[in-house]
Structure 1
Amino acid sequence: MSSTEQPTRVEYVTDPAAAMSWLASADRFGEYVMYEQPGVWVFAADPLGSVELDAGELRTAWGERTTARAWTGSPAATVDAALASLPLDGRNAYGWIGFEFCAYSLGATHYLNPLTSLAHLMIPRIEVRIDASGVRISGATPAETCDIHDLIAASQGSELPSAHPVDVRPDSTGYQDRVAGAVEEIRSGSYQKVILSRKVALPFAVDVPATYRLGRANNTPARSFLLRLGGLEAAGFSPELVASVDDDRVVTTEPLAGTRAFGLGADADRAARVDLLADPKEIVEHAISVQTSFAEIAEVAVPGTTAVSDFMAVRERGSVQHLASTVRGELAADRTAWDALEVLFPSVTASGIPKRAGVDSVFRNDHDERGLYSGAVVCVSPTGALEATLVLRAIYQTGEGAWLRAGAGIVGQSRPEREFEETCEKLGSVAPYVVKA
């Protein structure tokens, strides 16, 4: 226990999502990042310091002091060094990296402007951790600790919020035409696969913490998150890890590729699963994604340690089911967790194959910046461990409005109408559960 950690008041929390939503909605703790791992929920709030990386500037803050400077080289190495320069004193860091973070390693920086946000991490003063052992609170004053316990207690058994479902079928982005154009490029040999996405703007302001709670009650994510950081609010139900590096230096990624609807009833779900496992297009899409992930981990792993497990398992993620595999390797002694993240980012299942050509196609054909969509929410341990979860099945909001976004993997066998339907199926993980502000 750190010097700032309050003794645990053991509470059995039956609904951690409600507790996290209430802490976020209370608006007493400044900016925050909430992150769910299997069996563990963390609410990290009231930043002591931060690292913000734009295409044109690095800003590092601690307390009242902020420094800003130009930067060059690798964004991953730049963020890693910036975090190391802060007096973390054993604290974790939490935040996000945007899709455009990949432009430097994949030769696409000419698509960026100097204000493009690449990453925003913060070091919290307060951490609230809920797991099977109860509630642990670090960094809070005694009065704040009492408030936190009271909020958690009040949240348990409270009614779920009411939804304002969103119609996701209207499309102002010309999605099917863009897919048809990408299929032509693929068939001409330009690349093998690209993930093209479409944005669905919402005509009203959103209660993001309430949307998180209702959405989490109706989703089965690998990880989930809720954040308010640097003018951005977001909540999501991540289907897969981009990368994790644990304290034993094991690097893991979980490529998901191949999709069918889920939640339509036992018979329909079973039929969709059988169809998914037999569809040549989906099998090819998944196999080339696993091959790419294997090669990427091998770049940073001890030779001979990279391996695939659970190949082509079917995993249920809210309104969809996916083909999934796990790829692991042992991180080489001369490599860091940020090196592993840089080589695996963006997820192969959210960019394309080969990645350089696929990412170029994304920048050309998705038109506007993706930002947090298909980026990652990141947790960084003072021990050097790191976890980055893929941001999909999410809702986003800034002062300019709220939106959803989803994409589909395009290969040579793709049909534009089917890929559009896949985006609708994926949007179905969030759109029915949006709560109006």
Structure 2
Amino acid sequence: MSTTDECSRVEYVADPAAAMSWLAGSDRFGEYVMYERAGEWTFAADPIGSVELDATELRVLWEGTSTADAWAGRPARVLDRALAALPLAGRHAYGWIGFEFCAWALGMSDHVDPRTTLAHVMIPRIEVRVGAFGVRVRGATPTETGDIHDLIAQSQTVEPPKPHPVDVRADSTGYRNRVAEAVAEINAGRYQKVILSRRVDLAHPVNIPATYRLGRAHNTPARSFLLRLGGLEAAGFSPELVVSVDEERMVTTEPLAGTRAFGLGDAVDRAARAELITDPKEIVEHAISVYTAFGEIAEVAERGTAAVSDFMAVRERGSVQHLASTVRGRLAADRSSWDALERLFPSVTASGIPKREGVDSVFRLDAARGLYSGAVVRVSEAGAMEATLVLRSIFQDAEGAWLRAGAGVVGQSRPEREFEETCEKLGSVAPYVVRA
């Protein structure tokens, strides 16, 4: 078995998203998590170990041996300890964290169904990296390595799949009424902001890898992902980080709040941008999100290192454009990456302000979210971490497939406009769905 990166026979991959989709769709390598960041795509597959956490039990699997134990305390620390106990030998861990993971840190665990999966992280046997360097394979047998190169070469000659666009205008969830209820609670002084979402169920099974390929060609995400893990499939085009902690212990988050449609033509897009940067409701929504993110980073960073940059820049993410800022600080010596994740999770742009009251409103007014508005994570043995926000995504399990999108609700919100915003966001994925 190979234990180091092998140089590629393929010097250049013109369409890395097609390569990742083709590897995933080949069904050759078991469960997988694909993660795109900074011009590099990683396909991590065939787990040799995993850590799965639900509301009552921690399950650890390593090379065929499994344990299951009750747990207590904070989920982030439980996961940190479980991963630290495994002989990773330089391997990364990949997986996902559900929205309900936040309930323990916020003292709201009684809101969570005991059967809810909070996190599922796996350690792959095989890693395939694609970037400007070509293709590098780690952990595969020589035969598998040859097959991987052949599959990637084949992927570059296959025509893109045909989409079956989804109608997102119907609403079976009473979204406008829920927004109106939240506006009333905000104006009564219960909280300042909440993100409410709606689910759109699909009438047919979906080819998730093919949907990823087609959707990635029409999106401009900060990160993207594709996964099949623990009975859940998902693909998404994440507009922002929840948190990253790099090798130099720099903590970063990128709150996006304030939205208008994008991709409707230059003149329309410019008019929407001008409206976005001058709309008092959008500016207030963004400013309070940045203020909250700054305070959260300050709590885990060395004193005086928290700072905001690119304040209220406009970033284009597929079918929408957002107001965006970056908040950074250097992680304090007595804090870990998991401490930073726990403090910043869930993203303020996917929960509410104040966060505890916002999450309480989500638990009351939204259905259980699972992976939606949670995070896909990549963690190094040394503790570096990226957790990307799960929005602009499609999901599928044994019961069916669905899309989901939300909008930020503040005192000035109008239910019809917030519904329209969910349609704009669903437009990042709905036109590119591929039937199984």
Q: How does 1:335-374 map to 2 (within 5 A)?
A: 335-366=335-366, 368-374=367-373
Contact 2:76–2:338 under 8 Å retained in 1: yes
TM-score (norm 2): 0.99
d(CA) in 2 for partners of 1:280, 1:262? 20
Local SS of the residue matching 1:396: strand
Contact 2:200–2:404 under 8 Å retained in 1: yes
Contact 1:75–1:101 under 8 Å retained in 2: yes
Code of the residue aligned with 2:284 in structure 1: it is V
Contact 2:234–2:394 under 8 Å retained in 1: yes
Q: By how many angstroms is 1:106 displaced? A: 1.1
d(CA) in 1 for partners of 2:175, 2:108? 22
Q: How does 1:16-415 map to 2 (within 5 A)?
A: 16-366=16-366, 368-415=367-414
Local SS of the residue matching 2:106: coil
Contact 2:161–2:214 under 8 Å retained in 1: yes
Contact 2:10–2:153 under 8 Å retained in 1: no
d(CA) in 1 for partners of 2:4, 2:143? 14
Q: By how many angstroms is 1:10 displaced? A: 4.3
Q: By how many angstroms is 1:6 displaced? A: 3.1
d(CA) in 2 for partners of 1:8, 1:339? 38
Local SS of the residue matching 1:8: coil
Code of the residue aligned with 1:316 in structure 2: it is E
Q: By how many angstroms is 1:237 displaced? A: 0.2
Aligned counterpart, 2:422? 423
TM-score (norm 1): 0.99
Contact 1:9–1:136 under 8 Å retained in 2: no
Q: By how many angstroms is 1:8 displaced? A: 3.5
Listed one character per residue, the Cα deviations across residues 242-295 of structure 1 (whole Å, up to 9, x for unaligned) are 000000000000000000000000000000000000100000000000000000
Contact 1:4–1:140 under 8 Å retained in 2: no
d(CA) in 2 for partners of 1:19, 1:427? 25
d(CA) in 1 for partners of 2:72, 2:148? 42
Q: By how many angstroms is 1:4 displaced? A: 4.5
Contact 1:127–1:137 under 8 Å retained in 2: yes
Contact 1:297–1:329 under 8 Å retained in 2: yes
Q: By how many angstroms is 1:7 displaced? A: 3.8
Q: By how many angstroms is 1:107 displaced? A: 1.8
Local SS of the residue matching 1:332: coil
d(CA) in 2 for partners of 1:212, 1:382? 28
Contact 2:36–2:42 under 8 Å retained in 1: yes
d(CA) in 2 for partners of 1:376, 1:190? 27
Code of the residue aligned with 2:283 in structure 1: it is I
d(CA) in 2 for partners of 1:268, 1:388? 33
d(CA) in 2 for partners of 1:348, 1:157? 42
Q: By how many angstroms is 1:87 displaced? A: 1.2
Q: How many residues align?
A: 436
Contact 2:7–2:135 under 8 Å retained in 1: no
Contact 1:312–1:323 under 8 Å retained in 2: yes
Q: By how many angstroms is 1:74 displaced? A: 0.8
Contact 2:405–2:422 under 8 Å retained in 1: yes
d(CA) in 2 for partners of 1:99, 1:79? 15
